[in-house]
Chains A and B, each alone.
Chain A
Amino acid sequence: MIAQFPALQVVLPLIAAPLCIVLRRGALPWFITLVVSWAALAMAGTLLDQVADGSQISYALGGWMAPLGIEYRVDTLNAFMLVIVAGTSSIVLPFAYRSVIREIPEDRHYLFYGGYLLMLTGLLGMAITGDAFNVFVFIEISSLSSYAMIAMGRDRRALSAAFTYLVMGTVGATFFLIGVGLIYAVTGTLNMADLAQRLPPLYESRAVLAAFAFISAGLLLKLALFPLHLWLPNAYTYAPSVVTAFLAATATKVAIYLLLRFGYTVFGADFVFDIVPASEVLLALAIAGTVIASTVAIFQADVKRLLAYSSVAQIGYIILGVSYANVTGLTASLVHIFNHAVTKGALFLVMGCMAYAVGACRVESFAGLGKRMPMTMAAFVIGGLSLIGVPLTAGFVSKWYLVLGAIERGWWPVAILVLATSLLAVAYVWRVVEVAYFRDPPADAPEVSDPPLSLIVPTWVLTGACVYFGIETSLPVGFAEQAAQLLMGGGS
């Protein structure tokens, strides 16, 4: 049974999705989704436990052996990603029950959960597969379902946001497809491990250079690195709360995983950093992204949108760690993938509580909520502190490794810049906190209180994780270090 986990991980949500559509009554689709998501988390945890000693699991789908068949290959890095995706989903889903009842018309609930399961399938598949073309198929499964999910938002702007995302996302995925086609044309294989062996003699080939350019441009669009982030703010702002929380914590992170997988495992670190000036390009874009997106975030009137711009900035930090091209930098990136998933998940769940209790996420609608919704606002403050990177929160750990990596590389100005941009985060978090705690609500404000426990508990589980992983850092840092060494060692 355990031997089948790599396949079941993806197949279970895939089968459950049509099941939700068939069994459409009442809370049944929600319950199926919840059970499947928890099962996926249990399987991901088992897989991570099995590969924690640095070994790899290779699974031949349908018994067709690699490199001809599709291979699922699990190592520390993608088991870590599987746990992040399935874990976020498992915490968000209990929250989803009431939030979806409030935000989505009742006759569409079963479609919502069907789409959600497909999204989960796609993201888990992207993380686990060891076949370059299979990656494309899973990218499209997760993307197509997320376009539909974003369009379910109540505001009509959700529709135009979903359309923009559809156009840009499809261009990104098609670029990726062109790149995969080009490396297939020169090597004759699609298996990642096989590609890794056949590519080095072809490093000077123009087709390989073009393939790398197409694949990385496509993935950078998907992971929303500045200036390819234009689809993200609207999509996150107008999507239903649950979708935003899940997508913000996982979708861009899995795309970053793919960038690392293709950069280090398939093409190899020698190619990416010596032949192609990836380090310099990523450094420039990452710095521009963190500075500009953080500044733009300060001036947003809608807090959900503010957090969306902050996400663009945080993606900049993750890519910054990648651009150092050393183990510490890569560890920082992987730790920040985890910590940012926890932090942004918690903050967007707070936005979900706001949408539930107040019905709006504008800055002025936070007035006086510090007293009237104490639990919700306390979660926002802790999440905000973690976003800034205050000690004893998860965000601090990532910033610490980012600074260490920059110093190790000898890039002092970058280390100072990481600290300086944290001040921008202080500015945008403080704006909301100030309104919530120090401004009285308008006289005609309706009576509000904390949302029911089924919303508060998941929010606080993630908020608690922000603090827990800020103090007890060995778990994410241990796996991230191991995965970073695996990538660096495997590439050269």
Chain B
Amino acid sequence: MEVLGHFNYWIAIVLMMIGFYALIARGNLIKKIVGLNIFQASVFLLYISFGKVTGGSAPIIADGVEIYSNPLPHVLILTAIVVGVATTSLGLALVVRIREAYGTIEENEIADMDRET
């Protein structure tokens, strides 16, 4: 039961490691961005899990509801999602320009070309 009770956290950690692995191990710049996104998404999940209050309802005032989940982590993570979108778009824009300048988006090929000049 202990394991199931922390289901969200397990998933968050698994996603975090998948994202982090892709970020480090993949040489393709687009795949790195994908890894970065998974990594960030896991943190969003972590935050939203913090906000859950056992037995709490959605944080909208209604008759007959006593316990509400904490809405603050949701609001924080909205900001973080916006930041994540900005990071992704900037990263992809850089990949486009790298492709124009180098003709490749493979990390090791770019490193080889840098070493020659």
Contact = CB atoms under 8 A, between A and B. Distances in A.
Sorted nearest first, the 10 A-B pairs with minimum C-beta distance are A156-B101, A185-B50, A140-B83, A159-B98, A163-B94, A181-B47, A159-B97, A160-B110, A170-B87, A166-B91
A151 interface: yes
A215 to B, nearest CB: 13
Interface of A: 133, 136-137, 140, 144, 147-148, 151, 156-157, 159-160, 162-163, 166-167, 170-171, 174, 177-178, 181, 184-185
Contacts of B86: 140, 144
Contact of B94 (A157, A162, A177): A162
Given A167-B23, A181-B73, 7 more contacts: A144-B83, A156-B102, A159-B102, A160-B110, A167-B91, A174-B39, A181-B43
A130 B40 CA distance: 24
B6 to A, nearest CB: 13
A405 B83 CA distance: 41
A177 B87 contact: no
A160 B36 contact: no
B79 interface: yes
B47 A144 contact: no
Interface size bucket, B side? Answer: 20 to 34
Given A136-B80, A174-B39, A147 B90 contact: yes
A148 B86 CA distance: 11
Interface in B71-117: 73, 76, 79-80, 83, 86-87, 90-91, 94-95, 97-98, 101-102, 110, 114, 117
Given A157-B114, A170-B36, A177-B43, A163 B98 contact: yes
A147 B40 contact: no
Nearest to A234: B114
16 contacts: A136-B83, A137-B79, A140-B86, A144-B83, A156-B98, A159-B97, A159-B102, A160-B98, A160-B110, A167-B23, A167-B91, A170-B87, A171-B20, A171-B36, A181-B50, A184-B50
Interface in B16-66: 20, 23, 29, 32, 36, 39-40, 43, 46-47, 50
B87 A144 contact: yes
B46 A147 contact: no
Contact of A159 (B20, B94, B117): B94
A184 B43 CA distance: 14
B28 to A, nearest CB: 12
A342 B77 CA distance: 38
Nearest to B110: A160
Contacts of A170: 36, 40, 87
A171 B23 contact: yes
Contact of A174 (B40, B79, B91, B117): B40
B46 A178 contact: yes
Given A137-B79, A144-B86, A167 B32 contact: yes
Contacts of A144: 83, 86-87, 90
Contacts of B91: 163, 166-167
A327 B76 CA distance: 36
Contacts of B114: 157, 160
Contacts of B47: 181
Contacts of B98: 156, 159-160, 163
A330 B62 CA distance: 53
Contacts of B101: 156, 159
A105 B101 CA distance: 16
Nearest to A169: B87
Contacts of A136: 80, 83
A446 B79 CA distance: 53
A285 B91 CA distance: 30
B50 A177 contact: no
A185 B98 CA distance: 40
Contacts of B46: 178, 181
Contacts of B117: 157
B50 A166 contact: no
Nearest to A177: B43
Nearest to B97: A159
A144 B86 CA distance: 8
A49 to B, nearest CB: 33
Contacts of A140: 83, 86-87
Given A171-B39, A174-B39, A174-B43, A163 B95 contact: yes
Residue with the greatest number of chain B CB neighbours at <10 A, chosen from A157, A174, A178: A174
Contacts of A166: 87, 90-91, 94
Contacts of B87: 140, 144, 166, 170
A356 B83 CA distance: 36
Nearest to B107: A160
Nearest to A137: B79
Nearest to A155: B117
Given A140-B87, A163-B95, A178 B43 contact: yes
